[in-house]
Structures are given as structure tokens and as C-alpha cells.
Amino acid sequence: MKVIADTSPARAGLPRRDCQSTADRDRALLTLGLELKHSGYRFTAVTPATHARVNVRKPTLPSTREDIFGWSRSFSRGDLSARDVQLLATAGELAQSGPALRSRVRFSTLANQLFIHSAYPTDEADAVFFGPDTYRFARLIRQALPQSRQPSRLLDIGAGSGAGGLYAASIRPNAFASVVLSDVNARALRFSRINALINKVENVETVESNLFENIGGFFDLIIANPPYLVDPLNRMYRHGGGLLGSELTLQIVRQSLEHLAPGGRLIVYSGSAITRGVDKLEKTLRKLLEDSIFQFEYEEIDPDVFGEELDRGPYDRADRIAAIGLTVDRVH
């Protein structure tokens, strides 16, 4: 589906009369997001552990918009305007338990952009996550984004909320002739599509695809922030498969190399379990990237993330889990 930058109700780039209920839901969520953005709403998404610690504190009364749309706290009808309550309801994102209401979505900010994602706690299999890894990913993108004089093609593989691709597009306005946000998760694609409209990023296409299954051609820039943990709940945003969570990262790198245009760059933010001082992900990637047409840099961005995972298998044999950044250039 193509996303149109014009966010007026008649031209929002959303489904129309052939799928009216979907159009109404998406338009309501878009309207709510635009109103929050234009009102100066700000919220920084934290780790689930920090979120839990903050939410056990005595709440402020009445609830603020940050309480409702950031901290995912329950609220009463009087805490939010009747219009905003109706927009949440129309969007299908209002939960009710007795007199208490709750938003099923959160809104978080990254630089000057606003992003819809799933409410806390993100326990659903198709939850769309946004948090500290998103901010680290954005920092890596800013540092590694190549300068380009000609319009180019950008692909965000496993886009989630679309934060990576939409943030990159905001750094280089008019640099990308097309921005493709792909994901296997339909809920993520819905949020990505609406987030593109909220942030007025043009030339965006959302594609439902398991990696490159439904994606063809070459891209000048491919970015990815894949899940990199072994998740017992098998949540899409968190489970990275075998090899202590590195399997999906390796699949993305292997397949991306086949779709990287000459002179193109791949940027990956992921994680790696370090066992007895050995980073097996780095060793595997070095073998994979020995081809002379590629140059790459691999670095630890944060040496110790998700330390709580070390208390249980399979990470009870790992020293630590590191956040890593990989950039790959196809030189010819």
C-alpha cells in the first residue's frame, strides 16, 4: 500500500469504502496521533523493567496524557477529552474494565517524530515494540547514514513501528525516492503506515513479507533492527531464533547482501550473546563477509544489555549480551 503524505481525511492514504471499518479505525488513530504531535506531547519509552518500577508508584491525579498514552495507566473518562476517548474507541484501541479505561496503544517520541506502538506490557505475539533499542538503532543510523546526491531506495526490513526507516528519511529529506517498510506482522504494518502519515514522510510503501520473500530488486540502503533474544513466548518483536538469538540477524544479513546495490550500505543493529569471551555472531559474520566486494565494520554499542536473561537458559552459560552495530558497504 502506498502512503500519501497529505493527511486530510479524504486523502489519508488509507483504505476507503471497500474496507470502511478499517478506514475509520485507521483514520481515528491517525487523527489522535496528529493531535498529540501538534500539541507538543513528548514521551521517552523505557525498558519494561523500568516501566514496571515506575508504574508501581502512587499515580498522579488526575491522569495526564503521558500517564495514559506513555505509561499505559488506567484512567477515568474525565481524565481525557470526550473526543480523544471517542477516537480511541473508533480506532479499536480502547479497553474497558468496569469504570476504568485503558489505551491499547502507546505514543513515544524520537527527535521530532511521534510513533504509535503497542501498550505496556507487550505480551501479545504480534506486539509492536518501541524502547531503548529503538533509540540506539536511531543513533547508529544517524552515525552511519551515507551521504547521497541522488535519490535512492531505502528498505527497513522487519520495520516494526517504522521508526528506523522514517527516522532515516527525516535526517535526509528528499534523499529517498522510495522508503519501503516491510514486516511479517500485519499490526506492525498498520502502525508503520499511520506513523508515516503522522510524520509526513512521503514515498513510503509498506510490504507484508517474511524477510525478502515478497521484496525484489536492489536497494541503496537497507536497515534492520531484528529481535536477538530467545523468547519463550515466541513474540515476533523479541524472538531471534537459534544460535542464542542470532539466527534471524544472520538470515537478514545473508539475504540483504543479495539485494544491496553497488555502492549501497547495510546497517544492522542487533545483539549477541558473548560466551567465554567469544562473540560467535562476529566470527560468523566475518566469514560471511570475506568476499572482496564488501567492506564492513562491527562494533559493540553497549557491552551489557538484558542482564536479567542470564538468570535462565539458554543464557545461563553466557557471560553477557552485547548490543552490536554492523555496517556493510558493497564497494562494486
Its domain, for residue 150, covers 113-117+125-330
Cell of 257: 547482501
Is residue 24 assigned to a domain? no
pLDDT of residue 291: 78
Q: pLDDT of 136-182, one tens digit each?
A: 999 999 999 988 767 799 999 999 999 999 999 999 988 999 999 99
The single-letter code of the amino acid at 48 is P
Is residue 101 assigned to a domain? no
Is residue 170 assigned to a domain? yes
Cell of 25: 479505525
Is residue 78 assigned to a domain? no
Is residue 42 assigned to a domain? no
Contacts of 111 (CB under 8 A, 6+ apart): 138, 167, 170
Is residue 155 assigned to a domain? yes
Q: Is the pLDDT of residue 20 over 50?
A: no
The mean-pLDDT minimum among 17-26, 81-90, 251-260 falls in 17-26
Q: Backbone phi, then psi, for 108, in 5-degree steps?
A: -125, 155
Asked if 269 and 133 touch (Cβ cutoff 8 Å), the reply is: yes
Is residue 46 assigned to a domain? no
pLDDT of residue 55: 95
Asked if 86 and 32 touch (Cβ cutoff 8 Å), the reply is: no
Is residue 79 assigned to a domain? no
Helix (H) and strand (E) counts in the chain: 9, 13
The domain total for the chain is 1
Distance CA(249)–CA(221), nearest Å, equals 17
The CATH number of the domain where 241 resides is what? 3.40.50.150
Q: Which residues pair with 295 in a beta bridge?
A: 329
pLDDT of residue 149: 67
